[in-house]
Structure 1
């Protein structure tokens, strides 16, 4: 599991530094540990909590913000519960299918990181849909409760584009809470089907494309689709004057930048000769090569693993190669000094000498 743990932690390298746009996980703070999983809260979620509570306190009863302090509290509790269930279910299924999710990073519409999904594209599809499916189940249960207890008041509007506030349910506090829970769960489920990072729809689309066009083409197509979706979200947010949608598009842009950085690592190492088109890929330690965004997967048509160095030198060689690959990812292959290029060339020659 050592390689998996280091691969899954590739984004944590810069987390101790100042937050960066291309490292969206660096904008999060640890909250607690659930077994071997660290639960983190993203700055977007913290900002949403503050904004909702402040607006509820200052604008109660105004048309610009219909929720009062109590309903705002209900909304936030429902949102946190839904995204927690969404991510915990995803974590359990991911691990049961052979993947790993060492960190859960909560953002306002779910999680921010896929962790290490299973290598099988079929299992990756299950991982991608289980979260939205759990949120949909919560929404359906809320719908059933409303149908049984309120004679359909609010039920039909649960599936509409109205806001979370339901005026005709205001006389019943608990039904109002059920309505808010159902609406929040529905929004979370729908958002996570969008084919753009950080939503699970990106993993779903990429997994569906892999058996049809191959992993590298699937990564490229999914990346382009994500850019289109992010631009559309930004445009809709500007036209509708919705700050929330604009912020979601910004979060998507940061996540796309992060995944693009991973892809550039793969391309740079490919150009350096560590990967050829004739076999399986080598698995250099520290490279994020077990995720769905990378060509480093079990069914990839690449070369066999690079032979490991001698036992006494293994740790030092791993650390050096890890550092070189991180430098390539951040500054490009042109930034390597002669000594680093020599180390990279030696790794390439080891692979060529032992086909």
Structure 2
């Protein structure tokens, strides 16, 4: 079956009302879960919207991130982009990708997440203490969601917590699909910043991940200097941005679905874990996806993919597939068997999934226990959503406590 159209849809699609996924996704999934679209660059690619099809694409070895560096490769935007960096963990394949993942695996494993949980709880409680002292209404996105994950990742990696605003600013620019010039400037500035952290750790090692990576570079020769720099930068960026946006979208959806918020506040110990998984499924951090390039001709769910074509698996679209989720459009924090794909699947499964899960569990559980009266200060329809970025988030989430 082929979804080739005479005039392909333009992707990314506009965010749906109330921060919901774009309406085009369900339409494409119903017509054909592998559909041709036009990207902002003018290139065409295939977007994958069905659960089984997304799983297949994510584990397909004939789809490559590294091939984005080939001349003439499909681009999301014109000019230099993430796909150009040969040292990026996102763009590596095979042995090099596995080597770098092994170096950071312990720092972000589920076991390490449980060691970190008490410290994350301290940070969450401190942020709630601050919330309670602020004039109302309070922007819970800016004063809680945007602070907790970056605070945590700074401590894990080894960046000064007081630098979090600058790190957040670079992240906002790098995750945009706007000016290439601004993104390149931010990338170089961020790289220079991490090189400064590396020099500091060489001079005086600390109990943090960056010190471990410096040792791996200097004593064991297990990674290059460029790999060390960009791995540090990507850990700081990806280690907080997706969790920030998941919290922003998730808290909005919990407060919008008042019955679900009241259910969580009544039974936080019992329902925090399942609420976390439903937030990941229903309100993931992005409505975009990373392009992969076909290394050869092959068939994906009945659609002929040709060598050199771009394929974009959409994990968030798979989360609304009625073939795998009962009433997928319903937000239900009691949902069981919630096998969403928000962390990916296959070789590029998110290495920090364990820590991200723990952070969202702590955040939701803390708010449910300490401020059960939390409520939106505006009608849900009045909350604005920020477009033009790879990730999706509300501009603000004004609340009363």
TM-score (norm 2): 0.27
- The structure richer in helix per residue is 1
Q: Which has the higher contact order (CA 8 A, sep 6+)?
A: 2
TM-score (norm 1): 0.29
Bigger Cα Rg: 1
